[in-house]
Structure formats: C-alpha cells, structure tokens
Homo-oligomer: A and B are copies of this chain.
C-alpha cells in the first residue's frame, strides 16, 4: 500500500513499529560505509599479481628502447598510450598518459584554462564570469573543482539518456560565459545511466557561443560493466566531434583507478592533436614526466586490452552480487510504497536514490545515528544544494555483502521512517 494512501492512524502505527525496529538496529552498534565508490579488498586482491611483474632482474626498457627508470618521456610510454588508448577507444596518438589520478588531470586542466586560457583565448581567470553546466545529480568532486576556481555552476537535469540536451544546447549556444560541462557518459555517477547515441551526437554537434567551450568527458567507468555479456555502449565522443567539425571541443579523461589500484594506477587525457599540443607545452613546464615504471607495470600486467577486459570480468563478478543485493532489498522494502525511486545500473559504482522531496538530509542523518555512513545528502549537487533535498547516492562496492545487506536494510528503514514523519506532519 502506498504511504500516501494510508490514514494518519495507520501511518502512526507503522511509524511506531518501524522505530522499534530502528532501535534494534541501532543497538547492534554497527559501523558501515556506503559513502564512497571504493573497491573492496577482494577487488584489490585480483590485482596483486601486478606486484610481481617487475622484479630486480626485469628489463625495465620499454618498446622504443627507453630506460623507464630514468628521466624522460613527457607524455607516456608508447605501449601505455596504446593500452589506455584502446581502453578509451581512441588512437594512441590522441593520448597523454598522466600520473595516478584522473581527478588531478581534470583539476590541472581547469587550472590551465584559468591561468593560460584555451588556444589563445583569454584565460578564464581574467574573465568577469565563467560558467559550467553541471548535469545533476552528478559527481561531487567535479563540482568541488569548479567551485574551487570560482566557476559558476548551472544545474542541468539528467535524464536516463544523459543530460537534457534541449537545455544544454540552448544554454551553450546562447551564453559565451559557459565554458564547459561535466559529463560522466557511461554508468554515470550516481545514476549509472549511459548516454544515448542521440545525446552523444547532439554533444558533438553543439554550437557554443564560446569558442573556448570544452566538454569535460570523464570516462571513469568505460570498462566497468556489471554484465560483461550485455555492456552499455556509448558512442566515442572524439570521433563524433571530429565528424561534426568540432574536433577540438572535447577533453576525455580516464584512469585505471578502479581497474588496478586506486591511487596507484595510471591516468590519461584523450583529445585532438591541437589540444594535445597545447597541453604538452604546459606539461613540459610542469614536470619532466610521469611515473614510467608504473606505466610499464600496468602494460606488463594487463598485456593488452583483451587482458584488461578479462580482468574487468573479475571485478564484475565481485561487484554484481552486491548491486543485485542492494536492488533486491530496495525493491523488497520500498517497492510500491511511493516514497522513493532508484536507478538500476548495468555498470559503474553507484545507485542513485530519490526519496520524497525534503527527506534526503534526514534519511542520511538517521542512517548515521545507527552507524551507517551514506554520501552526504546534497553532495551530488553543485554547492551541496539539492534543491529538492531528495537525492542520495548509494555506493555498494566496499562493504562485504552481508554488511551491505544490513546497511541497505537500515537505509530502507530510515527512508520509511523519515517519509512517514513527513507525511504525518503534512
């Protein structure tokens, strides 16, 4: 029965029953975390072989004869470019390999745009206003970067097909202060949506008022399928932009963070040759080069994209039951109650939950009191402001499955309690 259809007395009776259940949970004194998209220990274990591929008797010379132990090679080993190029579905020539964090690459990219501008245009930091479009809900760390640099963020609704392109097209073509948009095109954070072909084509055909407008295409979950036999497929954006005569309009980012070890992987930017030329110039001032030994370690461990694909199946086998468990409990506990909706991702690291308007903060707070840490309500919106206070990001990857089930049960209980209170007060 939908809560909205209950009488006030029925609601009160149910609430009192649920509160008793909540107190039982609380008494168990749990500490569970569903806040961050961290791989579990089991996922990390499958990459331990990486620790053995380079040993003291290994030849650390790469394909072109470079001694990977010494200085040099600004933009990455050829074989690392090939591997990450294949992973990102672009030619190796369109790749620069970076250090351990694609977030860092995105930060540095925005920072460079602020101080030096894009291809001869005024540095963003010298302009009276710079704006970014932010599909919402979205990734908190993206929004933190643009906020840090004082860039004004404009919310754009996410649809199951990607950002609402009617709005994106209208804004981008009319306001020259709009310099960029944050995108997680495949298994989006937090919904797990993948952009439709039409969405990607409309992105590639944007007609921005600002010549230095760039799409920030964070391909964080390109190979992170939960169902490797039935993967989401997203059109390759560099190629689409090139066909549309907008070759320079996109920066694409990715890393092996959730493939090998988060924090000890390798990352990359993919872009047009014009963009890479500009980036390489700045990079040559910033560093002599990134960690080539670690690049070589990744290449030797995975071998090639097929090796990486097989490795991702192992990740999927660990993650899939967790996602299914959470979704099963959400459906069992909340299905048909009319107090929440959630996404059903086929990959990535998150499930997006929308409760009734005005409940998200209270739900997260109630979870916390019983020892279950969720991503802060509001975190999925620029400035931490969810205008409807309804979105909560669920991260099923890190806890063991039994803990996860417990945490999800508690979460659903908190959703019910907060929703009932809301309905009773009204």
Q: Which residue numbers of A lie inside 8 Å of B, CB to CB?
A: 36, 38-39, 41, 44, 47-52, 54-58, 60, 67-73, 99-101, 103-104, 107-108, 111, 114-116, 123, 125-126, 141, 144-145, 148-149, 257, 261-264, 282, 285-294
Contact = CB atoms under 8 A, between A and B. Distances in A.
Question: Interface majority SS on A: helix, strand, loop or mixed?
Answer: loop
26 contacts: A38-B72, A39-B70, A44-B67, A44-B70, A50-B56, A51-B55, A51-B56, A69-B261, A69-B262, A70-B262, A99-B291, A100-B290, A101-B289, A107-B285, A107-B287, A108-B286, A111-B115, A115-B115, A115-B125, A116-B148, A125-B126, A145-B285, A145-B286, A261-B293, A264-B291, A264-B294
A60 B69 CA distance: 23
Contacts of A115: 111, 114-115, 125, 149
A100 to B, nearest CB: 5
A50 B285 CA distance: 29
Nearest to A294: B264
Copy count, this protein chain: 2
A264 B290 CA distance: 7
A148 B284 CA distance: 11
Given A38-B71, A70-B261, A49 B44 contact: no
Contacts of A58: 51
Most buried by B among A51, A262, A292: A51
Closest 6 CB pairs of A and B: A264-B293, A48-B56, A107-B286, A71-B262, A44-B69, A104-B287
A145 B282 CA distance: 9
Nearest to A36: B71
B51 A263 contact: no
A48 B55 CA distance: 8
Given A48-B57, A107-B287, A263-B290, 19 more contacts: A36-B71, A38-B70, A44-B67, A47-B69, A48-B56, A50-B56, A52-B56, A68-B264, A99-B100, A100-B291, A103-B286, A104-B287, A114-B115, A114-B125, A115-B115, A125-B125, A261-B293, A262-B288, A294-B294
B148 A282 contact: yes
Contacts of A57: 48
A323 to B, nearest CB: 19
A318 to B, nearest CB: 14
Contact of A263 (B38, B41, B263, B293): B293
B69 A101 contact: no
Contacts of A145: 285-286
Contacts of A144: 285
Contacts of A116: 148
Contacts of A50: 56
A264 B60 CA distance: 12
